Amino acid sequence: AFFSAAVISIAGALSMALTINDLLPAALKRDSAAIAAAAAISGALYLSPHLIVTVAALITLIVLIYNRPLIGLALILFWAPFFLAPLELYLWAAPMVELSALATLSAAILRGALAWLRGARIGRLRLNAFDWLMLALGALGCLSLLWSAERAPALRELRVIMIEPLLFYALLRALRLERREWLLLADVFLMAGAAVSLIGLYGYVTGTGGFALAEQGTRRLMSVYSSPNNLALFLGRVLPFGVALFCFAPSWFRRVGVGILTALVLLALALTQSLGAALLGVPAAVACALLLWDWRRGGVILLGIALIAVIALPVAARIPRLQGALDLSRASSLMRTQLWQASLSMIAEHPLTGVGLDQFLYLYRSRYILPSAWEEPDLSHPHNLLLDFWLRLGLGGLVAFGALQLVFWRRGLRLWRALRGDPWLSACVVGALGAMANILAHGLVDNSYFVIDLAYSFCFVVGLISSLYQAP
């Protein structure tokens, strides 16, 4: 009762603050205090069993986001990995990331409308190559509904995987964030990875959950996800931001804090025992981040890591999960090769249009699965980013994704060279480049975009480079 009264009181106070010159109390004008308040309120919103407390917390959160849209962007990034645990809202449920995205979009539109009514000058956003290519991906997603046999899952994926993350990208572009705000979002992204890691590690150590049993009873960490591989996909994108923020940290105090969070992420990644992360995603991300930080010192560190890996090979060979990791005849490797064969057959019959959003599962298990792959019929994607974009968005989607990568790396590296004197923005840019390296490398054998958390993190990485490249 006390907790409920406290939350309701806070909601009332902040609602009144909104009516007085559209300002929050002075203590909440500072980003750190405002984000701390938003984190506490969103936690209350997420955990509250009572509808009235939920409504009060939701109203309070909207007030905070209205006054400081950056808070909404931070909440979207933080809650993205928790999409499998939706918030119960009376007769329906929705992930916090979705509620945060809709609240932030609504607040941004309302602020813009009120500014326009007051006669304030609103600068126009000049669209760049990133924007047009992201719009093209969204348009192709909408167009794919015309040939999607299973309309309901296609509509859902269009909403939660394409439209809402692309609206997040649009907010990142339209709000014209400042230098310190990009750094804050990078910090929040790292904190989200550390929070997911900490939750998983607690369950792993105490034996209360958050892990799956693999070969010979080996535990594989999965935290809030339904699969260890999904956890590895998300943390693989977070890790290069941690490495970059650590390497570019201007003070030992900050370096220690970032180092602790990054260590949590790295430990959790190791305990997922994801071969795609260990052999492809993490090496690509870490190598990219270290070499862009300082190619001499980074190169020495990479050589040291490689030497340690070679020395540790005999020990790694004793881990059941890692035995025969490069053996193409092992079950997981054989499954992927059979899956790729089936995917190519699917493409051969639908070369221009693909099969549509979230259609792979239904077609694969009913028509295209190879007889020898009967043990795993419920696979929802082809475990390869090129095949995935082609099958979901057609040949146009594959071309748009390829063009986006070309623009991303050309402009990202140009931006990295231009910002070498700015440690804060350099850390953000290097983290984004490392994250994209992870997406491409790990995406060769697993998912890359078409999961809620992966879609939001992809849009964050692209939005960061796009905005900083165009910034004056």
pLDDT tens digits for range 220-229: 999 999 999 9
Q: Which pLDDT does position 72 carry in this prediction?
A: 93
Q: Does residue 81 carry a pLDDT above 70?
A: yes
| Residue 347 pLDDT level (bands cut at 50, 70, 90) | very high
Number of residues that make up the chain: 472
Q: Which pLDDT does position 17 carry in this prediction?
A: 42
- The CA distance from 444 to 438, in Å, is 10
Average pLDDT of the segment spanning 254-278: 95
Q: Does residue 216 carry a pLDDT above 90?
A: no
Q: Identify the helix (H) or strand (E) that includes residue 283.
A: helix 282-293
Between 286 and 421, where is the model more confident?
286
Average pLDDT of the segment spanning 424-448: 97
| Residue 194 pLDDT level (bands cut at 50, 70, 90) | very high
Alpha helices (runs of H) in 248-382, residue ranges in sequence order: 252-272, 275-276, 282-293, 295-316, 331-349, 360-363
* Cβ burial 408-429 (10 Å sphere, 16+ → b, else e): beebbeebbeebeeebbbbbbb
Q: Which pLDDT does position 325 carry in this prediction?
A: 58
Average pLDDT of the segment spanning 114-134: 84
Here the tokens at position 274 are 């994801």
Q: Which pLDDT does position 30 carry in this prediction?
A: 60
3-class DSSP string for 203-248: HHHHCCCCEEECHHHCEEECCCCCCHHHHHHHHHHHHHHHHHHHHC
Q: Does residue 339 carry a pLDDT above 70?
A: yes
- The CA distance from 74 to 198, in Å, is 19
- The CA distance from 472 to 463, in Å, is 16
Share of the chain above pLDDT 70, in %: 87
Q: Does residue 235 carry a pLDDT above 70?
A: yes
Q: Which pLDDT does position 312 carry in this prediction?
A: 78
Q: Which pLDDT does position 358 carry in this prediction?
A: 95
Between 126 and 464, where is the model more confident?
464
Mean pLDDT (the chain) is 87
Q: Which pLDDT does position 28 carry in this prediction?
A: 46
Q: Which pLDDT does position 328 carry in this prediction?
A: 52
Q: Identify the helix (H) or strand (E) that includes residue 87.
A: strand 87-89
- Those residues whose C-beta lies under 8 Å from the C-beta of residue 392, and which sit 6 or more positions away, are 141, 144, 354, 355, 356, 357, 358, 359, 360, 450
At residue 94, the 3 state secondary structure works out as strand
Average pLDDT of the segment spanning 284-297: 96
Q: Which pLDDT does position 24 carry in this prediction?
A: 45
| Residue 118 pLDDT level (bands cut at 50, 70, 90) | confident
Q: Does residue 276 carry a pLDDT above 70?
A: yes
Between 291 and 323, where is the model more confident?
291
Q: Which residue has the tokens 């290519």?
A: 133
Taking a C-beta distance cutoff of 8 angstroms, is the pair 200, 211 a contact?
A: yes
Helices (H) and strands (E) counted in the chain, each on its own, are: 19, 4
Q: Which pLDDT does position 13 carry in this prediction?
A: 42
Least confident of 44-48, 289-293, 324-328, 331-335: 324-328
Q: Does residue 140 carry a pLDDT above 80?
A: yes
Taking a C-beta distance cutoff of 8 angstroms, is the pair 95, 83 a contact?
A: yes
